[in-house]
Amino acid sequence: MAGGKLSARQKMINLMYLIFIAMLALNMSKEVLSAFGLMNEKLVESNEATTDRNEAFMAGLAEKVSEQPAKYQPLKAQADQIDVLSNDFNAYLADLKGKMTATVEDPQDYEVMDKGDFLDNYFFKGEKLKPEGQEFMDKINSYRDGVVAILRTNPDMSSIADDVEKKFSTDPVTNRDGNKIDWLSYHYRGFPLVASLTKMTQLQADVKTTESEVLSSMLAGKLKVEASLTNFDAIVVPDKTAFFSGENFTGTIILGKKDNTLQADKVVINGQELPKESMQAGKTVLDFPAGAVGEREITGEFQFKEGDSIISIPVKSTYAVVPKPNSATISADKMNVVYRGVANPMTISFAGVSDNNVSASAPGLSKASGTGKYVMNPGSGREVSINVSGTLPDGSKVSDRATFRIKDIPKPTGSISGQTGIVKLPRNSVEISTIGALLDDFDFELPIQVTSFKVKVPGQPSVNVSGTKLNSQAKNALRKARRGDQISIFDISAQIKGNSSYKLKGVSPVIVELTN
């Protein structure tokens, strides 16, 4: 460019071009360094948010342990082990990053972090590792192997264990020339300080994300086990309390969930607190004298600690001590209360009295097909009394009555694709998903129809939607969300199919965390 045949002026112009190109290259390098610095800052912010979520999860788990230790203590023990490993490795990385940034005057001036001298001298001595370099490798390996060992004890965690092994692998790396290079040299030898600093922060992000995924999966696994059909028992409920020779046994079989770890803090029956040994394997054993002839009541309560409150579950029942049939058996087929807005099936009979000699009356009560079958559609009020009379074989009359509590249909829970609470879904799944409303732990199959809802994307105004799927405006807002953003679906309006006159309670919202 500056050959001898050129004039002095042309040589000067060419030299200025060279200097200009060098300056451009220098500015480009500074821009790259600044970009690494900005990426590091974003990772630090994300790590702080993940730390807060993990701490909240551990606090909630500790509260569950205090309420039901037998159920949640094993889960808490594993979570504590993961937490200790994560905190130890994260503290080591934070200390190492502090040593790295101590080599520059301003830790926020990323444009001066263009040298790789610190880690080259800190980790390596020639082609060999210094003790500090070996310590770094040992810390990664110790964290990886410790977490994997815990996860391998649970078959449901195998995919996360595989991901941890891959994410924190320190095996030699094959470069583009096909040569194998030691992991530490490949990732940290000769890199600018700001690039290595960002990699350290990314390692911290991987640690915190791993802990978050493990804790979430542990809880999801516990809920899956809780919902398993293996935790249900078949319970036989006779249509009446006594059968006589020559009669057919009639009754129903219902499924009841069992929990061998659940134990009440106190059980009081007929004014007496039961001893602790009466509560065993998730059930309470009753054993007391039946009493004199006549109808007897069993009243009391179960007390459970939930958070800072004591939850009381009342116990109220009756039984008959009889030399002959003289007491009615009145039971709800599905529950011990009746619900407003629902056709409640009931079985009503008198022990020893045929169905055609039994009559029952109450506001909203009507006869249904089948022996002893009735349907209750309660109206206003908080209680309803059912009066029953029967004619015994000798022509004498007997009568009885029972009072049932009337409850409203419980508050529905919002859902997306059949999932409730905080749901993790990819963006395209959210766009096509159906918004619904579910009645959790409600014994009736009650079809609920969503009519409208609102969608809130972080940084975007709320969008009103009619129907059960996102409209174009909501989809446009969704496309502006980023991975990890939580999309709120709230103000869900719903009604009972075929009974729009009944006003349901407000539907609880559902949160969607975007996975991409």
Res 242: pLDDT: 46
Instruction: Show the low-confidence residues of the chain (pLDDT under 70).
Output: 1-29, 71, 218-265, 276-296, 302-309, 315-335, 352, 393-394
Sign, CA dihedral 145-150-152-155, equals negative
Helix H or strand E encompassing 267: strand 266-269
Res 465: pLDDT: 94
Predicted TM-score (pTM) of this structure: 0.42
| CA distance readout (Å), 27 to 30, 34, 192, 380 | 5, 11, 15, 78
Give dist(CA 494, CA 504) in Å, integer.
7
Res 335: pLDDT: 59
Ordered DSSP codes for 9-43: HHHHHHHHHHHHHHHHHHHHHHHHHHHHHHHHHHH
Reduced to 3 states, what is the DSSP secondary structure of residue 389?
strand
Res 268: pLDDT: 76
Sorted by sequence, the CB contacts under 8 Å of residue 102 that are 6+ apart come out as none
Res 21: pLDDT: 45
Res 23: pLDDT: 44
In this structure, the number of other CB atoms found within 10 A of the CB of residue 496 comes to 18
Look at residues 316, 340, 322, 274 and name the one whose alpha carbon lies nearest to residue 502. Answer: 340
The residues pairing with 348 across neighbouring beta strands, listed in sequence order, are: 330
Specify the CATH number of the domain 337-408: 2.60.40.10
Res 424: pLDDT: 93
Res 139: pLDDT: 93
Give dist(CA 119, CA 40) in Å, integer.
17
Give dist(CA 97, CA 40) in Å, integer.
11
Sorted by sequence, the CB contacts under 8 Å of residue 271 that are 6+ apart come out as 300
